[in-house]
Amino acid sequence: MLSSKIRKGSCSLLSYLQRVRRMSENGEDARRANRKPRLICFDLDWTLWPFHVDTNPYPPMKMGKDGKIHDKHGDAYEPFPGTTEMFAGLLEQGYKMALVSRTEAPSVAREMLRLLDWNKYFPYQEIYAGRKTTHFAKIQKESEIPYKDMLFFDDEHRNVKDISAIGVTCVFVKEPMSQNLLQRGLDMFTAGKTDK
Give catalytic residues, as residue numbers.
43, 45
Residue type at 100 in one-letter notation: V
Those residues whose C-beta lies under 8 Å from the C-beta of residue 29, and which sit 6 or more positions away, are: none
For 70-107, the DSSP string reads E-TT--EE-PPTTHHHHHHHHHHTT-EEEEEE--S-HH
Length of the chain: 196
Residue type at 145 in one-letter notation: I
Q: How many CB atoms lie within 10 A of CB 178?
A: 15
Helix (H, G, I), strand (E, B) or coil at 166: coil
> 5 forms bridges with which residues in the sheet?
none
Give me the helices (H) in the chain, please.
2-33, 83-92, 106-116, 132-143, 157-164, 179-191
